[in-house]
């Protein structure tokens, strides 16, 4: 029997078919999970609805993660439709494009606030909403997506690196808070992948080639590989794992020069 049969999950952050969040949604559905997917704004609604049409009985809703009222509406719909929630996948991330192209010291106050609100605080807000629904199931799993730019300086990553560092700290604090309730909180730090979010990073193709040249496996990673790691963390195999940042980057994080 598929490992997620009878489980329900919320996937936040699907933009198109190249999204890591979408790969995780496909993997979870193939393992028997019933899913709720959210989209950010009308521009992405058509994409997400078309993708969700390929899933079995998926719930599709708008969610601006900076709006607590919309987050609350999502969880009300999940409660009504699913009764509870077993896992949450947080793939929301954003920084204004002009904040990534200049020196970090020139980061604006508003750009900094917006980047950390969407990319970091949203995990806290979504976890808070998921808590009572996961408690009904006797626990659950929360998973977010990060990148090595949280620890090292990458050109044209700027404030997003700071946001990812904050996100990883949120993982640890949430894991400590929610662990006694049987809820695990983890992150996957994936290697660079050509997603919609990556398109905002200048010189991204150079980063990809650098990974191919320097990573121990001499390649980059695919969304399906990240999704497989996600299934471990969401599923029974990861039942004793929490507060972890799992590196899925062909080993690049271990290299020096």
Which residues are catalytically annotated? 147, 157
Q: Are strands 183-190 and 87-90 parallel, antiparallel or unpaired?
A: unpaired
Strands of 59-62's sheet in order across: 59-62, 34-39, 8-12, 87-90, 140-146, 183-190, 245-248
Q: Angle at Cα 256 formed by Cα 251 and Cα 257, nearest 5°?
A: 115
Between CA 223 and CA 231, with CA 229 as vertex, the angle to 5 degrees is 105
Strand partners, 61: 38
Nearest to 179 by CA among 144, 140, 146, 145: 140
The residue written with tokens 């997400």 in the block is: 48
Strand-pair partners of 10: 36, 88
């Amino acid at each position: 029997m598929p490992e997620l049969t009878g489980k329900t999950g919320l996937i936040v952050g699907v933009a198109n078919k190249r999204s890591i969040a979408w790969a995780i949604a496909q993997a979870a559905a193939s393992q028997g999970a019933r899913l709720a997917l959210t989209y950010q704004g009308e521009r992405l609604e058509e994409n997400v609805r078309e993708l969700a049409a390929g899933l079995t009985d998926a719930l599709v809703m708008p969610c601006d993660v900076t709006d607590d009222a919309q987050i609350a509406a999502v969880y009300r719909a999940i409660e009504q439709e699913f009764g509870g929630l077993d896992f949450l996948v947080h793939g929301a991330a954003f920084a204004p494009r002009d904040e990534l192209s200049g020196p970090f010291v020139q980061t604006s106050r508003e750009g900094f606030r917006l980047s950390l609100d969407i990319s970091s605080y949203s995990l806290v807000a979504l976890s808070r909403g998921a808590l009572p629904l996961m408690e009904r199931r006797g626990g659950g799993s929360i998973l977010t997506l990060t990148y090595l730019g949280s620890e090292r300086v990458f050109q044209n990553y700027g404030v997003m690196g700071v946001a990812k560092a904050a996100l990883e700290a949120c993982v640890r604090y949430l894991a400590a808070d929610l662990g006694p309730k049987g809820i695990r909180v983890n992150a996957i730090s994936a290697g660079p992948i050509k997603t919609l979010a990556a398109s905002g990073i200048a010189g991204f193709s150079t980063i990809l080639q650098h990974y191919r040249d320097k990573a121990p496996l001499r390649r980059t990673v695919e969304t399906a590989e990240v999704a497989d790691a996600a299934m471990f963390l969401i599923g029974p195999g990861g039942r004793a794992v929490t507060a972890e940042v799992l590196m899925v980057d062909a080993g690049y994080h271990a290299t020096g020069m």
